[in-house]
Amino acid sequence: MLKSFLAHHIDRAKRGELSCIKNCHVYGLWSVMLHDEPGNRIRLFYADTRHHLYKNARALDRMSLGYHAHHSDIRLIGVHGFVKNVETPLELDPNGELRRYRYSSKILTGESCLKELGGRYKDTLTIERILGVNDIFMPADRCHTIIVPRNEDASWIVIEGKQDPSYVSECYTDNTTWNSDNLYINCDSKVAFNVLNAAFIGNEKDAYR
């Protein structure tokens, strides 16, 4: 079923009906809107081999995608490669490595920025689940981030469900120097076609570099 679903959208991209976003939230991460309907919005994400999602393991690097909640319940479906979903509650800790920020998205507001809100936090009782073993459901208020191994590509689908009217756009990160330079670049259907093919079969194409 997933195979035919993706094949249908590859055909749509070939007909010029889809576009995509390069470096969506994170360098090397692509986003393609497959279905735009409130309560049932479907996006495909593809991390190419240059991505920075490996930094969210926080082994030697600062996070590239801070812990964040969503404006709706979501379901994550693995498509290709190794994708780890990391969920955690955050709690105040004067010695915590994470800071709390208000996040403005360029997709929604025209510009991206982080505004520190104060306090230090730590992640506790971390739950790590691999996409592809089972679909993952998360309520809107659950904080998470995504990890993909360095120099590997991977793809997954996010389905947005019931909206959370109390949602506030915030994130928790140890990266105090984050900026949106070279992020959120709109690309045409030709690029979307190549991204979907790469996401589907795990074979990067130079056309979207």
Its domain, for residue 157, covers 2-208
Closest CA to 92 of 50, 61, 121, 70: 121
Closest CA to 146 of 85, 90, 78: 85
Task: Give the residues across from 172 on adjacent strands.
Answer: 67, 100
pLDDT tens-digit map of 8-38: 999 999 999 999 999 999 999 999 999 999 8
- Band the pLDDT of 202: cuts 50, 70, 90: low
DSSP 8-state symbol, 107: H
pLDDT of 205 above 90? no
Closest CA to 36 of 17, 50, 23, 55: 17
pLDDT tens-digit map of 87-116: 999 999 999 999 999 988 666 666 677 899
pLDDT tens-digit map of 136-191: 999 999 999 999 999 999 999 999 999 999 999 999 999 998 888 899 999 999 99
- CATH number of 53's domain: 2.60.120.10
Give pLDDT, residue 109: 63
Give pLDDT, residue 98: 97
pLDDT of 59 above 80? yes
Give pLDDT, residue 107: 63
**Phi, psi dihedral angles at 208 (to 5 degrees):** -105, 10
**Phi, psi dihedral angles at 30 (to 5 degrees):** -110, 145
Give pLDDT, residue 179: 85
pLDDT of 203 above 80? no
Can you give the pTM of this predicted structure? 0.93
Give pLDDT, residue 35: 95
- Band the pLDDT of 207: cuts 50, 70, 90: very low
Give pLDDT, residue 206: 44
Give pLDDT, residue 2: 84
pLDDT of 62 above 90? yes
Domain count, the chain: 1
- Band the pLDDT of 81: cuts 50, 70, 90: very high
